[in-house]
Structure formats: structure tokens, C-alpha cells
Structure 1
């Protein structure tokens, strides 16, 4: 290892960049942060690096394959993986290709401690251990299958962690496209009552719901047949709608279309993947997407049930609120009637003419009779005025 530690980091996560810069200062290291692609792997050929960090952003097979390429390009160089995915299956998927694994959320303390530990282990390695690490184990079908199963496991976990329906749909199509290294993906949901497929989640779809008849298009054909289709030449397919490409300017080169089923095996939707970036879609791709469609279908159906239950609860709440308002209005109006009756009783009984005349007659012999009479009249006027105003306010308040 050179005197100045050199670290190559593959990450597109801007939030982590500051943490890596702090790490460089802590270890007095030279760091280089690059996007994760095969072209940047050539940097490992230009100069040696002492340490590699790979930040895994998605639970897709491409991420696993990138770690394989890193290990092949820099045998013996420790690789630290940072991710929210593959932790439970890291030993099966990555084996000895990685020196450490940090589970997100990432903190500087965790990063610093793990790097120190890995560098110490590297210094303590024997020549035999280093030689053993450089030996590349044979890749067989079982290893490949384990990797695919691990990806499916992580995809299923990530989908079921999302509660918002629209957010979950968007995550599913992004993962589907990334998993198969395709340009576009669309997820159609079956509306069995209207016999339509609808979607508002897809790469290239801008949150606008689209609906197609189940009797039209390749997606409709797959939904009815409950079997996948691989189409290498869409423009020669009788069900392919060329108008969509003409309107959007997108050129469809190849298609993989797979039915999505629920736990009972009933079709509830369709995956449509467009344009594999390298080569054509294969039966392995179809099997992988079909396996993904099973767990996805169960998650979507559960989410739809939650949405339906949520809507029903909203309806119950709205009905209750309306009843509560109506009840309050009835109580309010009843109180108003009772209050108005009481006011009227006070006005008619307390100040009726005979009561007033009897009171005047009894006070005629009192000195300063005129002053007493003035006070009584004033009292009468003020209270009648108060009662009249109170009556008006009560009537006014019930109109709102």
C-alpha cells in the first residue's frame, strides 16, 4: 500500500459525498468519486487503488454484477459495500469478494470504524490469504440462481416497505426496468369490471392515467392468455400500436410482456418492458420478471385492499360528520325556540299592563313619586330593549 491511502468510490448519492470527503481528511487519503458504470472501471487499470467503496442504490442484478467486475478488475483490493439491500444474503451473493458491508442509513462514525477495521485486516493478511483471494471461484448455475433469488428477495422487501400506492407503483416499474437493463417499463392494472388495463406508473409516463381495452394491444393479449410474450420485432406484430411511437417519438425495438397474478393465480395486471439496452430479451428474463410479478401482484392487491378500506372509512367518517352537524343544528334550533319562548314569557308576564298599573297606584302616596316613576319606566324600557336585542341576536345566530 502506498504512503498516501488512495480510495476509489462508486456512488451517485450526493448526500454521501460530504461524508466521503470527511473520510479523506480523517485518513489523509486521496479519494475519487465516480458514477457507477463499466467505463469508469477502466480507472482501475490506469493506477492502483488501496481501497474501493461501492454504494448500492437498487436491488437489481446489475449491482451484483458490478461488484463481480470490481473484484475481477482489482483482485486483493478490499471492497466495502454500502447499501440498504442484500445484507441478509451478502454471504451467499458476494462471498469473499467484499471485505465489509455497511447497512444504511450511513453515518460517518460507522464508515470510519469499518474502514479502520478493514485496513487493519488487510495489513494482517498473510501471503497465502492474499493468493487465495486472487483465485476466482468458478461461476456455475447455482451461484447465478442464488444471486437472482437474492435480488427477488430484496425487491419484495423494498416493495412491501412502501405504503403509498402511487409511490409503490413507481418504485416497481423503476426496479423492473433496472433489473432487466431496459429503457422503459410500464405496469398495467386490470380493471375487471370495465375490462380495461389502466396505468399511471411507468418510465416515460408523466403521472397521467391511461386506459386500454383488454381486447386491444399486446398487454391485453397477455392479460387474457395469462402467458408471457417476447417480441423481437414489434412493428411486425399485429397487436402492436405504432401510433404511440409516432406520437412520443420513442422507437420500440423489442418487448417483454408478462402477466401479473395474485396469490390465487388470477391475472390482476401486466408488466410491459421495452428495449433491452444490450441484445434481446430472453426466456431467463421472462422467468425472472414472472417471479417478480408474483410477489409484486400480492403486494399490489394488498395495497388495493388497503386503499379500498381507507375509502370506506372515509365514507363512514363523512357520514358521521354529516350526522353530527345535523344533530347539532337540531339541538341549536331547539334551544333557540326554548329561549325565544322564555323571552316572550318575560316580556308578556313581567311587563303586562295590569301589573304595571297596580304598581303605579301603590306608589302614588310616596314622596318624590315622579322620580320613582321615572326609574320604573327607565327600567322597563332598558329591559324590554335588552330582551328585544337578545331575541334578534338569537334569531340571527341560527341563520349561520
Structure 2
């Protein structure tokens, strides 16, 4: 019996990982749910089987708990100033200038085709993958399957998994070469698979859409993505402004835009004191205050919200806009950032939930201070006779948590 036990142990030690998989339900889910959806999208059985053979969930990925867990909310809250420091913007702009010199003909072609300036395309490329130098090593199919099976945002990832299988069916890239981030974003532009199918383009005319290895394809795809989301050629993303105390910070957001003339009548000027002009923002402007009254103010155009379609973060869109401007020599952010510290994302989420219970729209209670949360805080402050800052601090958290 001992000899048999040793033989069995040796067999198990060298068995394929798919045999050893503890989660048999994962394989059942792949065949019972993913395959029918993939088949309906035109994926062949051969492609499907080759893609999922021996597949196991990647338990090293973040955000796999059914509710997402609380770990992210324990992190200390960080001011937007941390991400918009001159040193970070300068480094990204320096990289953009270097790539502009090497890819000018391609970027000029993209600008003519899409209306998106070279600086904006380069800033996105730099931010998403460090101009293609970032290591993107995750197995895209495994990553997407794991997130679609056991992630906290399963409904969001399931169609992306199916889209990845469609990419393989259409032979855009091999199964082994399809690499992604931990969130399943593909290649140098970091497109989710559905966005690859809708927005990746062939920039070098070789008949392929290779966002992993072809710089012309990467740059053309970024430009096409922004154009397809509504980028208006010749219109700037926005400008930093000086906001009078009489203009409420609760007027912020894409749903509260005003004609430029209205902002001028209210006393809003460029941050250097000069009058606003159409060349600064276009005919209409939206107030943007990423740190409420505790930071600089901007008037932004619809193009700013096109940048947010790439990444929902205000800070991300500001980074892209500022780096794009620096390529043509424009100045840095001049407004001061207030000191914001001493509380966590969990504290902010508690404030958001309390505001929601009062009927305020905070967007999502995620511990991140988007424009809806800033507006809600400002309206609550005004209603209660408090100084209106439109931003959380210790006093706001103490009163609302």
C-alpha cells in the first residue's frame, strides 16, 4: 500500500494544473455560460477551446471579493495636488517631446485624420503605458475570465471576456501574445477588448491592428478613440481661471455649463488676470474645481469630457490636457493647493453615504471625490450656513460621517 501511495503522490505532483484545479465550478462556468455567449458572437468552438484549455482563475488579482472588500478604503486620502505636481507633468512632457521628434509624420497624419493634437495623443500614450515601455505581462484571457467569474464587477468584465475571444477568432493576435494589465486592458493604449474591436485602427497600412507592437497603430488608435467620442478639432480642453468668491463652487460639472459670456459677466478671468477668449475654451465653458475652493479652478470645454471618456478621473483628464499644452510651451498650474490630509477613503465614503441619505447625488460612494460629490458637499455646506469649499476636510467628515 505504501508503494501505491507513493506512486499516486508522484502522479499528482506532475499532473496538469487543470486536473489539480480546486474550482471545478470555474470550468463548468466557462463551458456553460461563456461558450454560449462566445458562440453567439461568432467565436468558433476550436478558438474557444484553444483559449480556455487548462485555464484557472488568477487568484493574485485585486478586487476579487464578491463585494470588492474594504482594503482600498483604508488607504489615506490623497489630494489631487499629489498627481498634478510639476515634477510629474514635466517628466511626462519631456517623454512626449522626445517621441514627437521620432514620430512627427505619423502624429501629423493622425491629427489631420482625427483633429486630435499630437500633444494630446502623446500624453495619453505616455500615461497609459509610458510610451510603450511599461511591462504589460498578464494573460489577458485568464485575467478577464477571473474578473468575470469572481470579481466584484463581474457584469462589466463578462462582455470584455467575450470580446477578447472575438479578437482571437479574428486573428488580430495570437493567444500567447495577447497580454493585458491586471484589469484586462490591452496593449500600449490600454484598450479594453470591446474598445479594441470598435476603436483600434491600422496606422501603418499593413492590414493589422497591432496595438501591442506598432507605434503607428497605437497613435492612430488613440486619436480615433478620442474622435469617436466627440473630440472637436481646433477646440482647447480648457484653461485655468481666477474665480471670484461670488461664483459658487457648486456650479461645477458637465451638466452646468454656461456660455463664455456668462462667465465673463460673473467676473471670471484667466488665472493671469487677462479676459477670457474663445481660444481659451470655446463658446461654452464648464467649471472644474478638482479640489473645490481648496485648489485651482478651470473652465473646460466638451473636449475635456472626451478625455474623461478615456479615463473617468478629473485628474487624469487634467494631466493629459496639461501635458498636451506643455508640448507647445504653455505655463504650469498657478493656483495654490490647500492642505488635505488626515483621513481615509473610507471616511470619504462614509460622507458620501450620509449625503446620499439626505437626497444628494454623489455619483458613486467610492471614496473618491468626483464632481458630483464636490457639488453635493458645497450644497450641504451652503444649506447649513457653513463656509462653502465643495471639498471634504476633517470638519466636513466630522459633521457628516
* Structure that is richer in strand per residue: 1
* Higher RCO (CA-CA < 8 Å; seq separation 6+): 2
The answer to whether TM tops 0.5 is no
After TM superposition, the score normalised by the length of structure 2 is 0.23
After TM superposition, the score normalised by the length of structure 1 is 0.23
